[in-house]
Structure 1
Amino acid sequence: MSPSEQFVDAQSSSGIVRQARSDSVKRRPKDRKAQISAAAAIAFSERGYPAVSVDDIASAVGISGSALYRHFPNKYAMFRHAALELTEALASALDVVSVTPAATDAQRLREDLIAVIRTTIRNRRTAGIYRWESRFLEADDRKSVRAQASAVNRRVARHLSRSDPAMTAREKTLVVAAMFSVIGSITVHNLLLPQRVMEQVLLEACLAIDHGEGATTASRLEQSSLPRTVTTNKRERLLQEAVRLFDSRGYHDVSIEEIAAAAGLNASGMYRYFPSKAELLGAVFYRAADRLDLATAAVFDSADSHEEALRSLSAMYVELSFAQHELMSVYFSEMNNLLPSHRSDLKNRQKLYVVEWARVLREIRPELSAVEAKFVVHAALNLVPDVGRMMKFDAAAENAARLQMFMSAVLFGRQAASTVSTRRGTSAS
């Protein structure tokens, strides 16, 4: 008998029988709840709440669904736990930041940001859950998560170099939110860098936002440049209504019948244009990608320098995102619901788009490696859905100008040429 077996008493007709039983049957790991929580957070972060089932999470942990219910009563409880755990991890990381009493605001801000960056890197596969919490958390839980996030935001905002009396609380909130968006951008791609280099790339981008580089040249958004149109084309109406409904309620909670009715058709009428809801979603994505490609080509055709091209690309991206924020929101949030062939094709197009920006960026900042440049581009692009959502995609010129300022700061950096030796030669700590 193996050492891992133990004896138990069992009643039989002939008396007490000693039976051997393996520890593996009786004992459960003490950290089982933590294992479930981690698996759930990864699944929700990468695939979104509706696409994940309890069985998916149980399978990832190697247990049955009934065993999982011993720790969490339902799927929502796991989602809530994951969302709260992320903000709690950030708060805990800031709690242990240690600086001397004589430290300057700049030193304190740097240490706070490093703590947030390292926590996000450790939780890279799960931190993307922040994109889903506003849609799927119940009102009270959403309020709790946002209260925790706001407390973390305020703690970092205390040390902003631009915290002069003229800067409103709202402006400080947006600056820190932009920094957190830069840090959170690592959850939307799987590019790799040594941790020390990754920390410093993200830190430099955050500090550039704090210093407000690029503010003087941010262009203004023309609110009427891309108006919402009313069309009598039935296919176009279906696309417009699908975007509106997917954005407000999510792909899984919208039926084909609802889309058709909103467009003034019956379900059979919709099938004349799209064979399935998945094909309709694919058409929505290709619409967004095509418009982005056309606008990008126009920028490159008209730009006279790499710097002008990069600033114009930023202005175009903000303009397009604000003018079609429902379409862009669906584009960012529903990728995993695409048919596999569409998803693969569109992800490749996304990668090529980032490569185009990174190529221009390296002409301006040759000290960046190809991978570092892509990190910076992802950080700049990530600002638009994150900060734009906080602005409610209000197309007021000051909102667009502020967002373009953040993007310019991240892309052009703080005296980029003079900081390369610091990044290459020292740790972020």
Structure 2
Amino acid sequence: MPTPTKRPKNRKAQIALAAAELFCARGYHGVGVDEIAGAVGITGPAIYRHFPNKYAMLVHATRELTVTIRAATDRALAESTDPREKLDHVLDALATLSVEQRRVGGLYQWENRYLEPEHRAEFRAGLNTLIGRIAEPLSVIRPELPPRAPRLLTRAAFSALASPATHRAPISRSRAVDLLRRAGWALLTADVPAALPAPAAPAPRDATRPGATRPTDAQPTTDSPTDARPAPEDAGPRDARREAVLATAIRLFHQHGYHAVGMEDIGKASGLHASSLYRYFPSKADLLAAAYHRAAEQVTSNTTASLEAAATDEEGLRRLVEGFVDLTFGQRDLVAVYLAENNNLPDRDRHELRKIQRLQVDEWVRLLVGVRPELAASEARILVHASLNLVTDLGGATDPSPPDSFRPLVAALALRLMRQA
């Protein structure tokens, strides 16, 4: 008789890790329990010995991420009593962790938004505690900083350090860790205004999630997307209504996530019956694709205008950063959807838009290498993605709190990261 196979003691951790990697790769709603089980090598029903449902896996995975980051931070802080050395150890530890666990870093960036308010608050509280622990030694070595600056600069460093999770560019572990550590230092040592603007109150969110009590709405289709473009000045009522519908959908997708929003939710918020929406957009997937094309057009337009107006690579890079900061602050909902929902696009649109995104990043990389010829293109790409992530984090795409007066500071930090790291 064969010997029964013993269940590994770390099976729960294995399941949570597999779930986290799949959530980050394909989005929380794009992954089924059976797929998670298959990744671990067990049957679907066996998962329920460890987790009651998929949501419990998300909660566990986000908690584990916070625990892992906190443990790495605690070890690094304990390695020295000198504040500067403490920070150097922390930056090195977090850069190493970010590179080694880039496949689950998306929990920090985007997937935690699917947490219920109680668990989202718990997750953010854990990150805020970590930021405070790093801001403390920074306050010691930079006593001249205004009260809120140490936390702001630490948050900026966190955004740069977390950036490997936001892209797929090949990276050398040792070189990436070194670059990210230096990026962290560039941000922690940046100048800030003597009087920082007070953070704005968080934007109010609906008390309930659209569609939370019904089955998931239709999955993305392979239909051709409706390409939403700005309505001309002489546009008729139909064009104006189409623009209003698209703006409403983008706002709801940002607040609640694509899968939690149904066509009836968009119709209600737009003042239309759901059936009337189909006159403007054949499906919810077409609405999402239209949002992506809108964002891609605006990023492309900013790139073209910046390059045409710039006389040097330095000026071109500055204009690109300032234009992206303006877009992020001015259209936070659109930028957030553009960054977070690509897994829900039809395949053809996703591949097309990723090509557009790569071309935009290529322009940033080309200009940065022109400014800093000692950098290899692969190294410049790491810094560009770190800078882009900093802008979207501090610009409100992931946390709608900074006032408009933060624009110059965010642009300056993004430029300093690329120039000084």
**TM-score under structure 2 length normalisation:** 0.84
Partner residue in 2 for 1:64: 43
Q: Map residues 305-320 of structure 1 onto 2, 5 A cutoff.
A: 305-320=312-327
Displacement of 1:205 after TM fit?
1.1
Displacement of 1:196 after TM fit?
1.2
- Of 55, 68, 79, which residue of structure 2 is paired with 1:99? 79
> Is 1:239 aligned to residue 226 of structure 2?
no
Displacement of 1:343 after TM fit?
0.4
- Of 349, 373, 376, which residue of structure 2 is paired with 1:369? 376
2 CA distance for matches of 1:404 and 1:290? 21
**Structure 2 SS opposite 1:125:** coil
- Of 393, 404, 408, which residue of structure 2 is paired with 1:396? 404
> Is 1:50 aligned to residue 57 of structure 2?
no
Q: Map residues 12-161 of structure 1 onto 2, 5 A cutoff.
A: 20-24=1-5, 27-97=6-76, 98-101=78-81, 103=82, 105-132=83-110, 134-160=112-138
2 CA distance for matches of 1:303 and 1:393? 32
Partner residue in 2 for 1:210: 188
User: For the Cα contact (< 8 Å) 1:214–1:408, is it kept in 2?
Assistant: no
Kindly provide the CA deviation profile for residues 69-124 of structure 1, in whole angstroms up to 9, marking residues without a partner as x: 001111111111111111111111122225344x3x32221111101111222211
AA partner of residue 43 (structure 1): L
Kindly provide the CA deviation profile for residues 267-305 of structure 1, in whole angstroms up to 9, marking residues without a partner as x: 333223322211221011001100111121111111121
> Is 1:263 aligned to residue 270 of structure 2?
yes
Partner residue in 1 for 2:160: 182
2 CA distance for matches of 1:304 and 1:55? 56
User: For the Cα contact (< 8 Å) 1:243–1:326, is it kept in 2?
Assistant: yes
User: Structure 1 residues 146 and 169 mapped into 2: Cα distance closer, same or farther (>3 Å)?
Assistant: farther
Displacement of 1:248 after TM fit?
1.5
**Structure 2 SS opposite 1:107:** helix
2 CA distance for matches of 1:213 and 1:370? 28
AA partner of residue 405 (structure 1): A
User: For the Cα contact (< 8 Å) 2:387–2:417, is it kept in 1?
Assistant: yes
AA partner of residue 331 (structure 2): Q
AA partner of residue 360 (structure 1): L
> Is 1:289 aligned to residue 269 of structure 2?
no
Displacement of 1:396 after TM fit?
2.5
> Is 1:276 aligned to residue 283 of structure 2?
yes
CA RMSD of aligned residues (A): 2.4
User: For the Cα contact (< 8 Å) 2:332–2:400, is it kept in 1?
Assistant: no
User: Structure 1 residues 385 and 99 mapped into 2: Cα distance closer, same or farther (>3 Å)?
Assistant: same
Unaligned runs of 5+ in 1: 1-19, 217-225, 415-429
User: Structure 1 residues 162 and 400 mapped into 2: Cα distance closer, same or farther (>3 Å)?
Assistant: farther
User: For the Cα contact (< 8 Å) 1:39–1:57, is it kept in 2?
Assistant: yes
> Is 1:251 aligned to residue 261 of structure 2?
no
Displacement of 1:330 after TM fit?
0.8
2 CA distance for matches of 1:403 and 1:253? 31
2 CA distance for matches of 1:115 and 1:259? 44
1 CA distance for matches of 2:388 and 2:9? 41
1 CA distance for matches of 2:139 and 2:368? 26
User: For the Cα contact (< 8 Å) 1:323–1:395, is it kept in 2?
Assistant: no
AA partner of residue 32 (structure 1): R
User: Structure 1 residues 60 and 374 mapped into 2: Cα distance closer, same or farther (>3 Å)?
Assistant: same
User: Structure 1 residues 36 and 169 mapped into 2: Cα distance closer, same or farther (>3 Å)?
Assistant: farther
Unaligned runs of 5+ in 2: 195-229
AA partner of residue 293 (structure 2): Y
Displacement of 1:350 after TM fit?
0.6
2 CA distance for matches of 1:78 and 1:306? 47
Q: Map residues 322-361 of structure 1 onto 2, 5 A cutoff.
A: 322-361=329-368
AA partner of residue 23 (structure 1): P
AA partner of residue 158 (structure 1): E
User: For the Cα contact (< 8 Å) 1:55–1:65, is it kept in 2?
Assistant: yes
1 CA distance for matches of 2:67 and 2:140? 27
Displacement of 1:135 after TM fit?
2.1
Displacement of 1:163 after TM fit?
5.3
Displacement of 1:385 after TM fit?
1.9
User: Structure 1 residues 391 and 127 mapped into 2: Cα distance closer, same or farther (>3 Å)?
Assistant: closer
AA partner of residue 21 (structure 2): I
Partner residue in 2 for 1:8: none
**Structure 2 SS opposite 1:212:** coil
